[in-house]
Structure 1
Amino acid sequence: MMVKIAASILACDLARLADEVKRVEEHIDMVHFDVMDGHFVPNISFGLPVLKALRKETSLPISVHLMITNPEDYVDRFVEEGADMVAVHYETTPHLHRIVHRIKDLGAKAFVALNPHTPVFLLSEIITDVDGVLVMSVNPGFSGQRFIARSLEKIRSLKKMIRDLGLETEIMVDGGVNEENASILIKNGATILVMGYGIFKNENYVELVRSIKQERGESAG
């Protein structure tokens, strides 16, 4: 499976959002849109009006990461405003199966996100229903944090679960992804890398993306 790059607009110049996305869209696979409510995570970002505006400016898929409480109250509107993928945190809803299938019924891909402290085995009853898993390799809330090393073990465990069940579930990794760890992430099973600073704050982002896409994932576990 060819690795995909998701550019996180949390790291771009938001005053020039459309221009920033157009500048990089030739070299990325999707735009990553982090929604924070100041409750589930200690930060507030952007929401539906910004997504609606962004959807008009790019034809790339948009992955929406809902770092919010009560996500079931908002998934319909995020898909309506242009989300192609929606990631909901395992930790935020007692009705994960219901919300996953609601996202899929709306025509978007459903991902479940895991905080660093949440173990992979908790996905055993939902893994066959989702299109992908978003592994948070930093504590969610702020861009530019350092990668948590134990995330590699989590990615390996997740890859083994997916392989043992004969699935093709995507593994998205978000947090501290850079040129130093991209290769090992891919080799351990990551199929989508979320990068913010590495794309929008890097003069050599084109070469970085090219080198990452030359990597080939290997079976983990």
Structure 2
Amino acid sequence: MKIKISPSILSADLGCLANEIRKVEEGGADYLHIDVIDGVFAPNISFGPPLIKSIRKYSALVFDVHLMIVDPERYLDEFVEAGSDIITVHIEALKDPSRIISRIRGAGAKPSISLKPATSLSTVKEFLDEIDMLLVMTVDPGFSGQSFKRDILPKIREARRMIDQLNREIDLQVDGGINKESAPLVVEAGANVLVAASAIFGAPDVEKAIREMRESCSP
């Protein structure tokens, strides 16, 4: 199973964002994780479609867009048109998950669902066969730099078991406190897409940080 690394620009130097993105792309990242936070669903306010549109021309990376917002369906078309490749919506913010999953796919992006640490996997079980990725949060959404919560590892294992039962290629992404120490733990539990913020963008050598994280997950 290929391990994909998705650096989160929440920890990037926004004053030179194009250069920051170039560094992770040249350093071997697979995706670019873009956290969209509205200050309502989760604390903090981050980015929107204009930012995504402005950086799209600087990168060929897969734009992995994580919507931590209320009423995400209202803005789907704007995010797709701005250049999002994967759109993750939170199960806690959805009234009709199947409808929004269908809309994301119909608009030309890959649909993904996320859940907070306290949210049970039972809330997403019936929709797993409709998505391309499941994101398990190991910290409460809103801010980068939080510590990894080891007590989420059984939840990641159970998510992998549920995915494997479907016999479909569905990525299992983990976000929160991921670094070269916690990365092998979540990969062993079944994750194959790792979101890392400060561990990559805060490193003095981005390429080395990506390489060491990938190597830490090797058998």
* Residue matched to 1:55: 56
In structure 2, the partner of 1:87 is: 88
Match of 1:13 in 2: 13
The answer for the alignment partner of 2:24 in structure 1 is 24
1:153 matched residue in structure 2: 154
Q: Tell me which amino acid in the other structure corresponds to 2:143.
A: F
Alpha carbons 2:111, 2:131 under 8 Å: kept: yes
2:128 aligns with 127
For 2:157, what is the secondary structure of its paired residue? helix
Distance in 2 (alpha carbons) for counterparts of 1:70 and 1:14: 27
1:162 alignment partner in structure 2:
163
Higher helix share: 2
Count of paired positions: 217
- Change over 3 Å in CA distance of 1:8–1:155 after alignment to 2: same
- The one-letter code matched in structure 1 to 2:3 is V
Q: Determine whether 1:97 maps to 2:79.
A: no
Greater shift in the superposed pair: 146-155 or 107-116: 146-155
Distance 1:2 1:94, change over 3 A: same
Contact 1:2 1:213 in 2 (8 A): no
CA distance in 2, matches of 1:216, 1:169: 21
Instruction: Please tell me whether the aligned partners of residues 187 and 216 of structure 1 are also in contact (alpha carbons under 8 angstroms).
Output: no
Runs of 5+ unmatched residues, structure 2: none
**TM-score, structure 1 length as denominator?**
0.94
Residues 23 and 206, structure 2, Cα contact 8 Å, conserved in 1 = no
Mind listing any 5+ residue stretches in structure 1 that lack a counterpart?
Answer: none
CA deviation after TM superposition for structure 1 residue 165, in Å: 2.0
- For residues 99-158 of structure 1, the C-alpha deviation after alignment (integer angstroms, 9 at most, x for no partner) is 011101111110000001111122221000000101111000001001122211110000
Indicate yes or no: 2:107 matched with 1:106: yes
Name 1:71's counterpart in structure 2: 72
CA distance in 2, matches of 1:48, 1:182: 30
Query: Structure 1 residue 216: deviation in Å?
Result: 4.7
User: What corresponds to 2:44 in structure 1?
Assistant: 43
